[in-house]
């Protein structure tokens, strides 16, 4: 009969071998019923530079460690097939996951694109963004200072004559003398603001302003009352001191831009990712991570689509749209069913192009397994208590084009600019088409714990004021178009967040890259 593995025996043998041992490593040995007469040979596999034996050392020493049911004296269990069958165990079940859709236009759309709806839409945007600024800036309606209406209060204190207005940036220009002029607009009127070229700090801020963002400006009126001479610009932003993040447990993975159907879709790397999800990666560290995965969030462009750009047919492996969705759905059927998957559309998907985008039609949703929750783009969802703002990211093209320092190679720089403006797509009428819903779904109202974008096909993970910003890259190799415009994708990388510690990491499934995990 097998002897029960005892903690004191493990401690003793580890010490004999010259190591200390972490309690989790002890639990792992007990859990997998490792035969204690083989402990010494196990510990001899561990690198002598190791001081404390951690679970990964054990997993690495015996990659196919297994829960043995047969008599350990007969067989140490290093048979590959038996090990593969028994070694791996998912830690969570589907029932333990809680996905709540907090904000999503999908069932609430009212827009038909009429002029009046645009008026209402922009009023909602202005009201909610200006409210965020109003708590820090005491402002007056533009009407009250227009046409010389404003009368300077009689005061000996010059500083007290400063006034503030809050408006949308309607125009932006530079004078011959390098001063900047910004025209601000609120529901009562519009007013020009001058940023003096000598105020270099303010010019730096003003030069990054983009059309249609909502800002507060504080300053003095010119002697003739015709222009506001700015001394301060206030963006909505989020507070510096966001309280520590909500958290949960297990792991959430973030992907986007799978582009199934494209000739450039990286099938092999994607299949390696599927194997990883199923606990079949050779690397014990990756198997340990896979065991912990509870959520997978997908931020759009799940297929390459059809008719998205001129002559796309030449780039398609699967020319029919439903065939593309059947192919990607088939991959999702190969994912472990306990993982709760959240899928939002992107500009290549078969939904309306204007944002906010409604979720996929029923005929497509029905192709997928039951563990998939479909949302629109953007959408705010909570995974347990952790708030995730999902947005495919088409506005990144505008942000790269209009803000100095924002680049495709560092996609989170653009996401930071979204947070400063509390808006996912601040500029209207450029690359992003907007559908005028009653309320502005693109506004970042509730401060999330994580913002997840895709679209630009480059991976980036960073933190801004305690919000984790993730751009999840792609599974499509560089296209001819991207080559022409010098976009260098970073495919087959998967950002993950440990929901317990809120620490992040990027898993790499590139097959032909020496550095890949």
* Closer residue to ligand D5M (CB): 213 or 301: 301
Residue 349 is a binding residue for Fe ion (CB under 5 A):
no
Q: Residue 183 burial by CB count (10 A; 0-12/13-18/19+): exposed, middle or buried?
A: middle
Shortest Å distance, C-beta 123 to ligand D5M:
30
| Cα 81 from Cα 497, distance rounded (Å) | 32
Of all residues in this chain, which one has the CB nearest to ligand D5M in the complex?
456
Count of residues in contact with Fe ion, rule CB under 5 A: 2
Instruction: Identify whether the C-beta of residue 24 lies closer than 8 Å to the C-beta of residue 54.
Output: yes
* Closer residue to ligand D5M (CB): 284 or 300: 300
Return the residue of 212, 213, 257, 264 that touches Fe ion, per CB under 5 A.
Answer: 257
| Cα 391 from Cα 337, distance rounded (Å) | 25
Q: Reduce the DSSP state of residue 33 to 3 states and report it.
A: coil
Shortest Å distance, C-beta 257 to ligand D5M:
6
* Closer residue to ligand D5M (CB): 452 or 455: 455
| Cα 396 from Cα 424, distance rounded (Å) | 9
Shortest Å distance, C-beta 321 to ligand D5M:
16
Shortest Å distance, C-beta 211 to Fe ion:
25
Return the residue of 90, 92, 368, 408 that touches ligand D5M, per CB under 6 A.
Answer: 408
Return the residue of 21, 129, 456, 502 that touches ligand D5M, per CB under 6 A.
Answer: 456
| Cα 215 from Cα 168, distance rounded (Å) | 6
Count of residues in contact with ligand D5M, rule CB under 6 A: 13
* Closer residue to ligand D5M (CB): 219 or 489: 489
Residue 213 is a binding residue for Fe ion (CB under 5 A):
no
* Closer residue to ligand D5M (CB): 332 or 408: 408
Query: Distance between alpha carbon 203 and the CA centroid of its chain, in Å?
Result: 31
Return the residue of 245, 340, 457, 493 that touches ligand D5M, per CB under 6 A.
Answer: 457
Residue found under tokens 């983009």: 210
Q: Reduce the DSSP state of residue 504 to 3 states and report it.
A: strand
Shortest Å distance, C-beta 344 to ligand D5M:
13
Q: Reduce the DSSP state of residue 268 to 3 states and report it.
A: helix
Residue found under tokens 């620490």: 503
Residue 348, both tokens:
């290549």
Q: What strand order describes the sheet that includes 493-498?
A: 372-374, 340-344, 293-299, 251-255, 493-498, 503-508
| Cα 167 from Cα 161, distance rounded (Å) | 20
List the x/- string, 345-384, binding to ligand D5M by CB under 6 A. --xx------------------------------------
| Cα 346 from Cα 478, distance rounded (Å) | 18
Instruction: Identify whether the C-beta of residue 181 lies closer than 8 Å to the C-beta of residue 171.
Output: yes
Of all residues in this chain, which one has the CB nearest to Zn ion in the complex?
455
Q: Which does 408 bind (CB under 5 to 8 A by kind): Zn ion, Fe ion, ligand D5M, none?
A: ligand D5M
- Return the ∠ at Cα 269 (arms to 268 and 273), rounded to 5°: 115
| Cα 226 from Cα 418, distance rounded (Å) | 32
Return the residue of 213, 264, 301, 440 that touches Fe ion, per CB under 5 A.
Answer: 301
Please give the residue ranges that form the binding site for Zn ion (CB under 5 A): 301, 346-347, 455
Residue 455 is a binding residue for ligand D5M (CB under 6 A):
yes
Residue 162 is a binding residue for ligand D5M (CB under 6 A):
no
Residue 278, both tokens:
């199923």
Between strands 163-174 and 214-221, the pairing is antiparallel
Residue 68 is a binding residue for ligand D5M (CB under 6 A):
no
Q: Which does 340 bind (CB under 5 to 8 A by kind): ligand D5M, Fe ion, Zn ion, none?
A: none
| Cα 187 from Cα 163, distance rounded (Å) | 18
Instruction: Identify whether the C-beta of residue 495 lies closer than 8 Å to the C-beta of residue 505.
Output: yes
* Closer residue to Fe ion (CB): 301 or 449: 301
* Closer residue to Zn ion (CB): 346 or 411: 346
Of 11-19, 89-97, 350-358, 481-489, which segment contacts ligand D5M by CB under 6 A? 481-489
Residue 326, both tokens:
């059947």
List the x/- string, 296-315, binding to ligand D5M by CB under 6 A. -----x-------x------
Return the residue of 36, 185, 212, 257 that touches ligand D5M, per CB under 6 A.
Answer: 257
Closest CA to 460 of 479, 482, 488: 488
State which of positions 20-59 bind ligand D5M (CB under 6 A).
none
Residue 264 is a binding residue for Fe ion (CB under 5 A):
no
Q: Reduce the DSSP state of residue 217 to 3 states and report it.
A: strand
Shortest Å distance, C-beta 457 to Fe ion:
6
Question: Read out DSSP for 281-341?
Answer: -S-HHHHHHHHHEEEEEEES--B--SSSSTTGGGGBSS-SHHHHHHHHHHHHHTS-TTSEE
User: Where do contacts with ligand D5M occur on this chain (CB under 6 A)?
Assistant: 257, 301, 309, 347-348, 397, 408, 455-457, 482, 485, 487
User: Where do contacts with Fe ion occur on this chain (CB under 5 A)?
Assistant: 257, 301
């Amino acid at each position: 009969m097998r002897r029960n593995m005892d903690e004191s025996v493990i401690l003793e043998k580890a010490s004999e071998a010259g190591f200390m041992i972490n309690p989790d490593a002890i639990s792992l040995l007990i859990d997998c019923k490792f035969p204690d007469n083989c402990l010494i040979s196990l510990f001899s596999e561990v690198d002598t530079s190791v001081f404390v034996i951690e679970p990964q050392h054990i997993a690495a020493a015996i990659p196919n460690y297994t829960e043995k049911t047969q008599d350990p004296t007969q067989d140490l269990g290093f048979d590959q097939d038996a090990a593969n069958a028994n070694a791996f165990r998912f830690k969570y079940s589907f029932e333990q996951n809680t996905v709540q859709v907090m904000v999503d236009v999908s069932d609430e759309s009212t827009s038909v694109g009429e002029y009046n709806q645009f008026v209402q839409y922009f009023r909602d945007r202005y009201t909610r963004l200006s409210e965020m600024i109003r708590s820090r800036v005491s402002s007056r309606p533009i009407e009250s200072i227009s046409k010389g209406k404003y009368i300077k209060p009689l005061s000996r204190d010059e500083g007290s004559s400063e006034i503030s207005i809050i408006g949308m940036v309607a125009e932006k220009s530079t004078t011959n003398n390098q001063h900047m002029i910004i025209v601000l607009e609120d529901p009562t009127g519009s007013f020009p603001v001058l940023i003096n070229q000598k105020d270099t700090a303010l010019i730096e801020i003003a030069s990054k302003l983009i059309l249609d963002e909502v800002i507060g400006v504080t300053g003095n009126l010119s002697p003739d009352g015709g222009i506001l001479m700015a001394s301060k610009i206030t963006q909505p932003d989020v507070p510096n001191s966001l309280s520590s993040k909500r958290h949960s447990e297990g792991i959430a993975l973030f992907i986007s831009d799978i582009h199934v159907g494209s000739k450039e879709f990286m099938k092999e790397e994607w299949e390696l990712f599927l194997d990883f999800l199923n606990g079949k990666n050779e690397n014990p560290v990756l198997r340990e991570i896979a065991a912990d995965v509870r959520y997978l969030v997908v931020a759009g462009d799940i297929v390459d689509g059809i008719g998205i750009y001129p002559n796309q047919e030449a780039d398609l492996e699967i020319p029919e749209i439903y065939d593309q969705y059947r192919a990607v759905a088939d991959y999702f059927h190969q994912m472990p069913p306990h993982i709760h998957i959240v899928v939002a559309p992107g500009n290549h998907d078969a939904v309306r192009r204007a944002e906010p985008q409604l979720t996929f039609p029923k005929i497509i949703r029905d192709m997928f397994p039951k563990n998939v929750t479909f949302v629109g783009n953007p959408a705010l969802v909570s995974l347990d208590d952790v708030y995730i703002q999902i947005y495919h990211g088409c506005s990144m093209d505008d942000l790269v084009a209009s803000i100095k320092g924002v680049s495709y190679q560092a996609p989170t720089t653009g996401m930071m600019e979204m947070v400063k403006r509390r808006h996912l797509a601040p500029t209207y009428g450029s690359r992003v088409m907007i559908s005028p819903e009653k309320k502005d779904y693109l506004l970042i109202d509730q401060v999330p714990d994580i913002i997840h974008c895709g679209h630009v096909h480059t991976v980036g993970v960073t933190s801004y004021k305690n919000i984790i910003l993730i751009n999840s890259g792609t599974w499509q190799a560089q296209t001819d178009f991207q080559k022409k415009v010098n976009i260098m994708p970073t495919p087959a990388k998967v950002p993950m967040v440990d929901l317990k510690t809120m620490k992040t990491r990027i898993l790499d499934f590139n097959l032909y890259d020496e550095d890949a995990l």
